[in-house]
Structure 1
């Protein structure tokens, strides 16, 4: 007579859906970001009220003072938004020009070894020389208006695009190159069908880095080249000279917010383009 033992079968824990895990991860990252923002505002208040005396508090007005007297006052806010729009246009033109030049140069460097040896040292020099040292020379060459501002943006954004494009083209799987060789693909077919798609994650990473660099370049250009429509950097320089620290901080906050928006947009584009199949797209 046989007996059947009722052995309880351990249930395997249910695996949380991928969407739920992503939601939890995003909530965690968002909580850290909000916590850092709150800590920064608290530190700002502490310095304004505990470190600075009432006579010197104008050096760092409290956040609510900046909000009420500048950011929520149309008389003060309107010229800042107009100037920020001008800076955004300059940054956009510089970004497009840097993207076209940087991707083309990076691709050419990856195709010919002697071009890499000729161009790369000068790209490094362009990166290591302080842009503030070159800016006066650009004014002599291109004048003191929009053209020089765009030139500053291009120079400051070129290096990450060139290096990431070159890295992306050089990182193609050698096995795929052999496959295209067996298929007797031409140089153009290999470039368009293999190397460019494979390099796209690295190219997008370079563009994402450059998107922040061009904003810095546009603000620097505003400060040095004041002819024409003033940008947000021009207003910052004016506020500094007039000791209008409340408006100065408000302009800095607007410029920083604009930079964050641009970076988020570029990250979203990168995720949409390559996030499903490559980690550099920002998918988590």
Structure 2
């Protein structure tokens, strides 16, 4: 008879304080931000003095853009236009992507038929088909929304399909033994199980939506201009402080929607799913 191996008890990990969790969350991006700021300062210092206006310093950006009430009002108005385009594009891509993901999960033949075109849609640069979109839809609001939808569509059906396929087989067998139909199994087991994966795709799509909205404004210059048009107009008018201010607002918007959906996912799934992550 072999002797039993003794494993000493391990102390439970103490939960980190709220202050320590905030430091763990904020310190890495803060350090990366300082590194990027140092790279910017180095690149600016390497320019000839007469060309340094191309890369204004923080004080110049503040005085030439954010400190001006008129420029702040223009930034808010442009951000609102860009947000409208981005949200409308998401309102198209999220329901359409979810429907396609469910259909791909339901039928192997639909998945085989659609998957290559999803890969092609993701591989072809959107800028390459903008002339075609201009020819078909003109220069108004609709083509801008279509550009955002193309930017954000791929992440939705792929992540939803991955989540649906990850459903525990035992749960699926249990539903079948109880006589539940495919629709009941999908609504009560498949979708809840796939929601964390779907939210990961939505989080990626939401941040890409702001980028897609700005890109669309660079090529469809009509109607009320958003941050994309402000970037172009500021560059043309040599108002580089305002151009960098618009770039900063664009980055804040993109990061903000990404963090919002991450927070929303944690609130929805932290009490029952491991995808929300440990909180320290």
TM normalised by structure 2 equals 0.91
| Superimposed CA distance per residue, residues 10-57 of structure 1 (whole angstroms, 9 cap, x where no aligned partner) | xx997564253x652431231222222223223323332x21122010
Aligned residue among 117, 123, 143 for 1:122:
117
Of 162, 173, 177, the residue aligned with 2:157 is 162
User: Which residue of the partner structure matches residue 260 of structure 1?
Assistant: 255
Corresponding residue of 1:229 = 224
2:194 counterpart residue number? 199
Q: Equivalences for 1:25-44 in 2 at 5 Å?
A: 25-44=21-40
Residue 67 (structure 2) pairs with residue 88 (structure 1): no
The alignment partner of 1:18 has SS state of: coil
Pairing of 1:131-142 with structure 2 (within 5 A): 131-142=126-137
Unmatched segments (≥5 aa) in structure 1: 1-11
How many Å separate the matches in 2 of 1:55 and 1:272?
52
Superimposed CA distance per residue, residues 144-175 of structure 1 (whole angstroms, 9 cap, x where no aligned partner): 11111100011110101110011111111111
Aligned to 1:65: 60
Counterpart for residue 206 of structure 2:
211
Q: CA deviation at 1:246?
A: 1.5
Alpha-carbon distance change, 263 to 282 in structure 1, aligned in 2, over 3 angstroms: farther
Cα distance, 1:181–1:41 mapped onto 2, change above 3 Å:
same
How far apart, in 2, do the equivalents of 1:13 and 1:194 lie? 36
CA distance in 2, matches of 1:116, 1:13: 48
Whether 1:24 aligns to 2:17 is: no
Q: Report the RMSD for the aligned CA atoms in angstroms.
A: 1.8
Is 1:183 the counterpart of 2:204? The answer is no
CA contact (8 A) 2:208 2:254 kept: no
Return 5+ residue gaps in structure 2 as ranges.
Answer: 1-8
Deviation (angstroms), 1:213: 1.0
Residues 94-132 of structure 1 show CA distances to partners (whole Å, capped at 9, x for unaligned) of: 112111000110011001001101111111111000011
2:156–2:205 contact (8 Å) kept in structure 1: yes
